[in-house]
C-alpha cells in the first residue's frame, strides 16, 4: 500500500530564512506527488505537483519541490520565507491518473518567527 511520510511534525524558521520540508513516499512505481498548504480555518490549496518530466517543479508562492527517485523523496523548498507562509503543509501522492484517491502525509506545521 502507498504511504507518505512527513518526518517533521513542526518546524520553526525565522522570517527570511530558507525552508525545506521533507516528504518521503512509499510506492513501487513512480507516484504522482503533490504539496498542499492549509491555513487555519481554510481548505487545502495546491502548491505544486509532479507527474513526470523535469524533477524540479515550480509552484505558487515561490515554492519549489524536487523529486528524487533514488531517495523516494519529494521535498518542498522556499529560499526565503515570509510570515504569511505560516501554515500546515501536506505532501500527498497517488499511484496513477486512474486512482482517484490521494494518500496524505500527516502534515508539517510551519511557524515563522520574526
Q: Please give the residue ranges that form the binding site for other proteins (CB under 8 A).
A: 32, 34, 36, 41-46, 49, 90, 92, 94, 96-107
For the bound state, the minimum distance from the C-beta of residue 80 to other proteins, rounded and expressed in Å, comes to 26
The owner of cell 500527516 is 106
CB of 35 or CB of 78, closer to other proteins = 35
CA distance 103 to 25: 10
Closest to other proteins by CB, 54 vs 100, is 100
Q: Is 85 helix (H, G, I), strand (E, B) or coil?
A: helix
Q: Which is nearer to other proteins, 70 or 97 (CB)?
A: 97
- 27 vs 30: CA distance, rounded Å: 7
Amino acid at each position: 500500500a502507498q504511504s507518505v511520510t512527513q518526518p517533521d511534525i513542526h518546524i520553526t524558521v525565522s522570517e527570511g530564512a530558507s525552508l525545506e520540508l521533507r516528504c518521503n513516499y512509499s510506492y513501487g512505481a513512480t507516484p504522482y506527488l503533490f504539496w498542499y498548504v492549509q491555513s487555519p480555518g481554510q481548505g487545502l490549496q495546491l502548491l505544486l505537483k509532479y507527474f513526470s518530466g523535469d524533477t524540479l517543479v515550480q509552484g505558487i508562492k515561490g515554492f519549489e519541490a524536487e523529486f528524487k527517485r533514488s531517495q523516494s523523496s519529494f521535498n518542498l523548498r522556499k529560499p526565503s520565507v515570509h510570515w504569511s507562509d505560516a501554515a500546515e503543509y501536506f505532501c500527498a501522492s497517488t499511484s496513477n491518473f486512474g486512482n482517484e484517491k490521494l494518500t496524505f502525509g500527516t502534515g508539517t506545521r510551519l511557524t515563522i518567527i520574526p
